[in-house]
Amino acid sequence: METIQNPVIGYGGFVEWLPHSPDLSPLDFLWRHMKGNVYATPTPRLQDLRRRITDACASVTPAMLHNVQRKIQARMQMYIVANGEHFEQYT
Q: How far apart (Å, rounded) are the C-alpha atoms in residues 20 and 78?
A: 14
Which positions ≥6 away from 86 have C-beta within 8 Å? Answer: 19, 20, 23
> For residue 11, what pLDDT band results from cuts at 50, 70 and 90?
low
pLDDT digits (tens, 9 = 90+) for 48-85: 999 999 999 999 999 999 988 888 888 888 888 888 77
Query: Rounded to two decimals, what is the model's pTM?
Result: 0.58
Over residues 15-21, the mean pLDDT reads 55
H-helix segments, the chain: 28-38, 46-58, 62-81
Q: What ranges do the domains of the chain cover?
A: 26-36+45-82
